[in-house]
Structure 1
Amino acid sequence: MIHRITASGATAVTQGNVFAYKREKWAGNGSYKTEVELNVRVGLPEPEMILPLNTESLSTVAVLPWGSALQVTKEEDHFDHLFEYVPEGGEGMVVLTMHLHENVLKNGTVKELVEVRLDGERVGQLTPTTSQHYLATVRHAKDMEKELGVWAKLKGSGVAAELVIQGARAVDLPDQWLREMPTLPVFTAEADSYEIPGAYIADEKKSSKTKTKTQQKPRTASTNNFGGNETLYQVGKKQVTISDKQRQHAPGVYRGAGVAFIVIAVIIGLALAAIPGVGPILSIGAIVLGVMGNLGQRRIAKALEIERGSRLPE
């Protein structure tokens, strides 16, 4: 999908968050050091949701920025047309155009609504309340001699289909967008591969250093989400997840906690052993739990040492 966008003369962009924060880290010599850490998160949809299913008639359509989800109504009256666009997976994105529609009530009152079309054919309309959020933008697009488009999620099967639009409301549109009303590029035909120029050339020397450091630090996977900071490490044959809460303590604290597990288990085991009949079994169980707790704490300590570099050569 990204190659196709690039081959069409456009640049793929997305939204993201950048975090910078100070953290106290164990220096490995009985002291702590303060380091600044950076964290970048990007939001990406599923690949099949990046480009619209209808790409051939959008060169003059100014597509609204992404907005909150709103349901289209009366799309069931246009299932025959919608069915032609439903992908094999049952869900995909399309770009609809928005048009002014005058609905005459039985008492002669005229209600202005927004009608949505897919490649020029009507596929539904917005409710009177929802239409009020877009009527001003529809008129503005007409004054600019452009059609107004909106992203919509098409979900369907062999018997039904529904549309949910995701377009910014008139009050949320930035002035720059209203002045420019940018359109989508003319997408090149879908193919198995595309000839595109290189977008980034790595510094070989820097890459070599990074690779060496990665081999020394056996970090296997990151399980971070926006606002979180958890990292997965391989310790022996086990995987250990380290969180910000665990990073607040030095590795020695967890080793001490492991010893405490053993001591407490032995004390409890001796007390349980005095129980007639089941006492010995309960005693063994308590000691086993203590050993398991000790091993768990030691693995956390080891993972922290790996992360903090206390066992890496300078």
Structure 2
Amino acid sequence: MNTQMAYLLGMIVGNGEVQRGANETTIVIEIPHKKLETEFQKDVGIYVKASITDIRAIIEPLVGTGLKFSQSANVSDVSFTKPNEDYLMREIMRYIGNATTHVNMRISEEVFSFTKDERIEFIRGFADVTGYIRRSNYFFKEPQYRVYFEIPQNWELVIDFCNLLKSVDIPVQNIDWGHPNMRDGNLKKYNEGKPDFWKKEHQVKVWALEFEPVGFGVIHKQEALDYFAHEHEVFIEKEGDKQKRLNALHRYYWELVGRKKEKPSHPGENDPFIPEEIRGKHFDSWQDIAKDLGYNEES
């Protein structure tokens, strides 16, 4: 293992697709960009093209072949094709098993045995294709900014990613689960005749300041992270007792004491969309779901 391979694996698990042929396999990695401009009124597409230069410098020596790049308004694709028997392709398939897309991929247990630098590179690759940092991503009020990682209805991947963050000592501030008790906790949408409204992607949220040691490889995301993390740090300095406030950010949910707001039962709690181990259970907090699924103090 090396850091380049770890970064590539992170990208594939985060937002990759495996197109398996009889003799060759193509891997396509999506780099989504929801907005046409960055927070600083600069063209996202141009930034992503510039980032691809850096990504190529990391991946192409490893892949040993040219990466293909295509771009539309909301997404950029990076892809490469290798023979099925190629050593790199066999290694990639070993790490991701029989998964074909990020919807059914897991983070291999072997990744947790990587060196810390390799785990950080895996997280950075994962973040480049799932992470967002925007002015609107604040907690209650600005400038308490967070990074959002959007993961499709792949419950196990959320837990894997949270535990990998934990392995490099980065706490998760919040998980907005695609669960009826979280996304429609007061049954508002259900009562409006939208019973499946809650079936959305999961969002893992991390303080921008806490994610700074890892960061992004995609340029416009890293610039935004630097800016918003700095804004939060300046705010903390003005409030006084900086170290105490920074320490307060660096906490895992099981280290916090807080009151849970009771939520009404939701008919969707029994939906087959929900993993069997928590299906039929009622939850008043995201922490309880995380604990039951395996992101907890013991994990």
Q: TM-score range by the shorter chain?
A: under 0.3
Normalised TM-score (structure 2): 0.15
| Higher share in helix | 2
**Structure whose CA Rg is larger:** 1
Higher strand share: 1
